[in-house]
């Protein structure tokens, strides 16, 4: 999630701007830009720890909001299938806590925390059209962004740019090629395909 990246970067930069295609909701609602949001999401121990370090009390907030918690380690109570492969349902985990928040709930709480960070702003309802660079094309200087409601454009200057492509059918703009031509060091572009998974508790647990 871009919000988590923004929170980390906020400790090292004076200002952080998140360019977001969607208009972000105030509550826990599925949105078009996150089609995988309806999939089951599982928060492992290390993820919970990092979120707690970035946002103190975050895990307690999720639990208070109704997030299911699996912490007794009995695998017979857990049904997990990944790509048709059923996980073992015998034995126990040791000292492992699993949280199963919905993606909209997880995003909602992250958004609320990030919005409270003074040097982070979100430019909602905008697309990145292309990257901008120096005349010699040896350094990226920012990005040209376009407002979705009216098509107006403007340039955002930046000392450093980061791009995250999320979702099964994420928008991968044509400026990826120009970004690779404006490099001074290697640029690595990764495209993720997210398989559907099934996970749940046995009735009565």
**pLDDT per residue over 73-117, tens digit each?**
888 887 878 778 888 888 888 777 889 999 999 999 999 999 999
Residue 157 burial (C-beta neighbours within 10 Å; 0-12, 13-18, 19+): exposed
| Best CA proximity match to 89, nearest among 101, 71, 108, 75 | 75
Q: What is the pTM of this model?
A: 0.75
């Amino acid at each position: 999630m871009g919000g988590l990246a923004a929170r980390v970067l906020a400790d090292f930069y004076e200002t952080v701007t998140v360019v977001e295609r969607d208009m972000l909701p105030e509550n826990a609602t599925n949105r078009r830009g996150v089609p995988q949001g309806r999939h089951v999401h599982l928060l492992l121990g290390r993820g919970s720890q990092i979120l707690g370090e970035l946002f103190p009390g975050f895990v307690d907030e999720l639990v208070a909001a109704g997030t299911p918690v699996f912490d007794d380690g009995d695998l017979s109570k857990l049904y997990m299938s990944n790509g048709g492969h059923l996980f073992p349902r015998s034995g126990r985990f040791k000292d492992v806590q699993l949280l199963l928040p919905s993606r909209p709930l997880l995003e909602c709480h992250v958004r609320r925390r990030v919005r409270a960070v003074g040097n982070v702003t979100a430019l909602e309802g905008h697309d990145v059209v292309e990257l901008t660079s120096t005349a010699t094309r040896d350094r990226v200087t920012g990005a040209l962004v376009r407002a979705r409601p009216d098509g107006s454009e403007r340039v955002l200057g930046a000392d450093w740019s980061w791009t995250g492509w999320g979702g099964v059918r994420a928008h991968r703009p044509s400026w990826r090629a120009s970004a690779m031509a404006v490099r001074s060091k290697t640029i690595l572009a990764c495209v993720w395909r997210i398989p559907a998974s099934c996970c749940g508790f046995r009735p009565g647990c």
